[in-house]
Structure 1
């Protein structure tokens, strides 16, 4: 019995250590690469009632703050929006965004934030909204109606698309990192906390995880 207990503790410890190392690498990378377009993010996050750190996380994962990025599928700009998504936003908001607008940081962030707002309101769930941003509303609804992926029809126990599953993990990880950096600080252009402050918050994170075990 003692052997099994020690074995389980060892396995859990290894998992925690691997997680912390991976999280630390991502966090340090974020700290040394300050956020951009903060004024635009704050403006539209407030207008559409979305957490600005979530908007920033999507931008970080989608384009790493490069407005010129274009995916193989044809997604454009900072928040990697598809032309048909822009059309959907036009229909929902009675706006007149064009495909060319997707290439402009201000318009792209406005459209992406408006779309996130719609998804959050529609699904009323953080992870589902993020999954739908990547995998599409129709797919998420289909997964929710399938007992293999959702037992309650309200949350997803599993995401059958590996791309979407990994996307949700990346955005949530980035979101948690930003919360550590900017938790008690106004989000400002090119601002990042110094190593001492980051280290303090990171140690706090480690203690919280250890206390769970």
Structure 2
């Protein structure tokens, strides 16, 4: 093997090593991001997302923002479980969905909680169309507040959708869910 062949061989080996290194880094990065952004209860999320024609990554994003996948989470305002369902929403949903022997402790049951949360997201979509900002704002602040904001020129100039959310907590919530959604979509959606 001549000097020229040896150099060519070394270049090929170095390029191959760099290619393997890049592949491993990309794979490892995806693994790390999926570890940081898990989708727990994936079967239940898929089941009820499909039932209500919702994007599973949106539902996972709401759960991450609401409870970080803690089924025993309770908010300062008393919302419960994975999707932080309020007492009022839980009672309303239990009647609409004919949940037998409903009581608020059932909101800590992941299946009941995700079912109600997906049902509620679907209700909000029917009320606000496919505008994800309006749906998420209503999920956090209530549909009455969002309806009021949509009639206010300050928040919804020309009736073309919210450009400003007056509740700081709700604004941050919508941003957080949308950020989660982009991350979930990027690292999990391999269509």
TM-score range, shorter chain: 0.7 to 0.9
Deviation for aligned residue 1:45: 0.5
Aligned counterparts, 1:134-213, within 5 A: 134-184=140-190
Q: Corresponding residue for 2:42?
A: 38
Gap change, CA 1:118 and 1:72, over 3 Å in 2: same
Following superposition, the deviation at residue 29 of structure 1 comes to 7.3
Distance 1:167 1:28, change over 3 A: farther
Q: Whose RCO is larger (CA < 8 A, sep 6+)? A: 1
Look up the match of 2:88: 84
Instruction: State how far apart, in whole Å, the 2-side matches of 1:67 and 1:160 are.
Output: 30
Aligned match of 1:131 in 134, 137, 153? 137
Secondary structure of the residue aligned to 2:161 is: coil
CA distance in 1: counterparts of 2:31 and 2:149, whole angstroms: 35
Q: Which runs of 4+ in 1 moved over 6 A?
A: none
- Provide the residue aligned with 2:103 in structure 1: 98
Structure 2 unaligned spans of 5+: 1-29
CA shift, 1:133, in A, is 0.3
Q: Which runs of 5+ in 1 are unaligned?
A: 1-26, 186-213
CA distance in 1, matches of 2:74, 2:32: 23
Cα separation, 2, equivalents of 1:88 and 1:158 = 29
2:123 to 115, 118, 125: 118
Aligned pairs, number: 159
Deviations 1:48-82 (A, max 9, x none): 11111100000011111111111111010000110
> Partners in 2 of 1:57 and 1:29 — Cα distance?
17
Given the superposition, is the C-alpha separation of residues 71 and 50 from structure 1 closer, same or farther in structure 2, using an over 3 Å criterion? same
Q: TM-score, normalised by structure 1?
A: 0.70
Which has the greater radius of gyration?
2
CA–CA separation in structure 1 for the residues paired with 2:32 and 2:138: 27
Say what the alpha-carbon RMSD is for the aligned residues: 1.8
Counterparts of 1:88 and 1:141, CA distance in 2:
19
Verify the 8 A CA contact 2:33 2:187 in the aligned structure 1. no
TM-score (norm 2): 0.78
